[in-house]
Chain A
Amino acid sequence: MAGADADGEGVLILAIETSCDETAAALVTDAGSVLSSVVSSQAGLHARYGGVVPEIASRRHLELVLPVVREALERADTSLGGVERVAVTQGPGLVGALLVGLSTAKAIAWAGGRPLVPVDHLEGHIAALYLEPDPLDPPFLCLLASGGHTLLLAVRERGASERLGTTLDDAAGEAFDKGARVLGLGYPGGAEIDRLAGDGDAEAFAFPVARVPGLDFSFSGLKTALLYTVRDLGERETERRRADLAASYQHAIVRALVARIREGVERTGLDRVAVVGGVAANSALREALPEARFAPFDLCTDNAAMIASAARFGGAIPFPNYLGLDAYASIS
C-alpha cells in the first residue's frame, strides 16, 4: 500500500461509521486533518416512528454505505490506493447496523492487505476533539451526551478514558427527543427544542431533575414532569406557551449536565472541560459553559471523521487477523 498521499501529508485513514442512523465515511490523515467527512442522515426516515427503527436503519445502511464511501474518496480527491488503514466503529450501537459497516470495512481492508482499526464509538466522540485545526490535549474532563449516551469521563491521555458517571435511565439526547414528542415537535428533538427555546422563558416552568448519588445522571422523571404540566395546561394553553415549555425543559437538562460537570471538576481536579456528542450542539449548553471546549458543530453528531481520529492512536489489527471480528451492542 502507498505509505503517503500525493501531498506528503502522511498516511490516509478511511473510516466508516454505521452504529445508529447515520451512514458516514471520512478520510483523515494520520496527522489529524479531515480531508472529507460525509454523513448521510436517515433521521427523516425514522421521524414518523419517533425514534430509530433498527431494521429500517440497517437496510438503509446497506443501500448507502458504498455511495457514502465513494463520495468521501471523491471529496478527498483520492482513491482507495491512497488509503493506508481502514477504521470502523465496532460498537456500541445497533448490532445489525454496525455489522453493515464492519463487514464493508473488513472487506475493503482484506482486499488490499491493509490493517483494520476497530474503534469504540464513544472513544470516537472524544477523538473528535483531537482533530485539526485546533486539537485538544488531555487531560480534561469530558461530557459525552447524545441520544444514546450520557457519560462523564476523565480523559488523562488520548485513547484512554475513565468513566466517572453515566445515566441511570434516559440519555440526555433521549430526554430532548421525548420532551419534543410531548410538545408535539419533530424528531430528532434536540434541534427542535433548541430552536423553539430561543423564543421562550427558561424560568417560566420549574422542572425538577432527580438527584442521584455520585456523578450519575437521571432524566426519566423530567419527561414525566413535562407530561403532567402539559396535561394540566390543556391543549390550547400548551400551544400558546410551547416556547416557554421548551425553554424551561431545556434549561432543566442543561442545569443538570452543568451541575454534574462542576462536581466532576471538583472531584478530579481536572479544570479543563470538553463536551462531545449530539447534545454538544445545543446552544443553551454552549452558553452555560463558556469556558468549555465543544466538539466542532459538524462533528458533534455521529460521523466518521471522529472514528478515523480515534484510529490514529493505536488499536490497528494487522492483516488478516481481523477477519473474524464481531460487533458489540453495549458499553463494555
Chain B
Amino acid sequence: MLILAFDTATDVATSALVADGEVLGERASVARTVLDDAHRLLAEAEAETRDLEALVVGTGPGSFTSTRIGLAVARGLTLALGIPVAGVSTLDALRAGEKDAYPVLDAGRREVFVPGPSAAAPDDLELAPGTVCVGNGAVRYRAALERKGAVVPSDGDERHIPHARLHVSLATDFGPVEDVLPIYVRTPDVKVRP
C-alpha cells in the first residue's frame, strides 16, 4: 500500500512516502510548502497522485495555523482521491522515534505541549531523572529540563523531529478525513471588544 504521510504541526514540516512499510523517500520543509515536498516525493518514486492509497497526517499539538494546513491538505487530497486517512498525534510520533522518550513540543507563551496532551510551563513538568526529552520544546527549554535531571539530545539530533515515517508506523485507524481532527489543547484566545 502506497502511503503519503506528513506532519505540519511544528516548525519543521516532515513528509514521507511509504510503500508496504518501506520508506521510499522523506523530506522536511515548512507547513506552507508541504505539498511541494509531496510532489517531489512522488516524482522521485515515479509515482502519481492517483497511485496513493492512503494518507497519514500529524494532528499536533503545535502551531494552530500550521497544524490546520496539514489537515486542510489532507481534506483536499482525500476529497479528490477518495482515499482513507489516519491521524497520528505529533507527540506520539516523536515518542516512537526513541524508546521511553518524553516528547516536549514548543507551545509558545513560555509553555510546552506534553503527553496528556496538555500545556505546561517547563519548570512545572515532573520528570524522573534520566528521562530523555525530545522535540522542539525540549531544545528550547533545555536548561530548565536539564535542571530537573532530564537528558536532552544535542540540538541537531534527529530525535527532535517528528519524522512522518514514524506516523506511518503508528497509523492503524484509517477512515474518513472528517474523523481526523486537530489536537489544539488550548481554547482560542478571545478578547471581547468594548
- A and B: real partners? yes
Query: CA–CA, A58 to B64, complex, Å?
Result: 9
**Complex contacts, A323 vs chain B, CB 8 Å:** 33, 35-36, 38-39
CB pair B35–A50 under 8 Å, yes or no, is no
B65 within 8 A of A: yes
A66 within 8 A of B: yes
Asked if A103 meets B76 with Cβ closer than 8 Å, knowing A49-B193, A58-B68, the reply is yes
Asked if A320 meets B39 with Cβ closer than 8 Å, knowing A70-B79, A104-B76, A111-B76, the reply is yes
**Complex contacts, A39 vs chain B, CB 8 Å:** none
> What class of interface size applies to chain B in its complex with A?
20 to 34
Asked if A59 meets B32 with Cβ closer than 8 Å, knowing A105-B76, A108-B79, A110-B39, the reply is no
Query: CA–CA, A201 to B158, complex, Å?
Result: 71
B169 within 8 A of A: no
Query: CA–CA, A104 to B68, complex, Å?
Result: 10
Nearest A-chain residue to B80, judged by Cβ: A111
The B interface is mostly helix, strand or loop, or mixed, namely: helix
B72 within 8 A of A: yes
A193 vs chain B, min Cβ distance (A) = 17
**Complex contacts, B192 vs chain A, CB 8 Å:** 48-50
Segment from B109-117, B127-135, B139-147, B183-191 that makes contact with A = B183-191
Query: CA–CA, A62 to B49, complex, Å?
Result: 23
Segment from A92-100, A210-218, A252-260, A291-299 that makes contact with B = A92-100
Query: CA–CA, A320 to B72, complex, Å?
Result: 18
B82 vs chain A, min Cβ distance (A) = 9
Query: CA–CA, A117 to B182, complex, Å?
Result: 27
Nearest A-chain residue to B188, judged by Cβ: A55
**Complex contacts, B32 vs chain A, CB 8 Å:** 99, 324-326
Which residue of the partner chain, among A48, A55, A70, A106, contacts B64 with CB atoms under 8 Å?
A55
Nearest A-chain residue to B178, judged by Cβ: A66
Residue ranges of A at the interface with B (Cβ–Cβ < 8 Å): 48-51, 53, 55-56, 58-59, 62, 65-66, 69-70, 80, 95-96, 99-101, 103-108, 110-113, 181, 320, 323-326
Interface pairs (19), CB distance under 8 Å: A49-B191, A53-B188, A55-B189, A66-B75, A66-B177, A69-B79, A70-B79, A80-B80, A96-B64, A103-B70, A103-B76, A107-B74, A107-B76, A110-B38, A110-B49, A110-B76, A110-B77, A111-B76, A323-B38
Residue ranges of B at the interface with A (Cβ–Cβ < 8 Å): 32-33, 35-36, 38-39, 49-50, 64-65, 68-77, 79-81, 177-178, 182, 184, 188-193
